[in-house]
Structure 1
Amino acid sequence: MPLEILTIPCLSDNYAYLVHDDATGQTALIDVPEADAILKALADRQWHLSEVWITHHHADHVQGLADVLTAHPAKVRGAADDSHRLPALDFALGDGESFDFAGHEVEVMDVSGHTIGHIAYYCADAKAVFTADSLMALGCGRLFEGTADQMWKSLSKLAVLPPDTQIYSGHEYTAANARFALTIDPHNSDLISRSQGIAASRTAGKPTVPSSLATEAATNPFLRAADPTIRAHLNMQHASDSEVFAEIRARKDAF
Structure 2
Amino acid sequence: MTSISPIAQQGFTRIACMGDAEDVERPIAQETPIAIEYQGLGYAVLMATPADLDDLAVGFSLAERLVDRPEQIVETGCHVVDRGIILRVVLADECVPRVADRVRHRVAESSCGLCGIENLEQALRPLPRVDEAPAPANASIFAALAALADHQPLNRATGGVHAAALCDAGGAIRLVREDVGRHNALDKLVGAMARSALAWNGGFALVTSRCSFEMVEKAVLAGCPTLVTLSAPTGLAVDRAREAGLRLVVLARSDALLLAR
Both structures adopt the same fold (TM-score exceeding 0.5): no
In the superposition, the TM-score normalised over structure 1's length comes to 0.29
Would you tell me which structure has more strand in proportion to its own residues?
2
Largest Rg, 1 or 2: 2
Would you tell me which structure has more helix in proportion to its own residues?
1
In the superposition, the TM-score normalised over structure 2's length comes to 0.29
Q: Which has the higher contact order (CA 8 A, sep 6+)?
A: 2
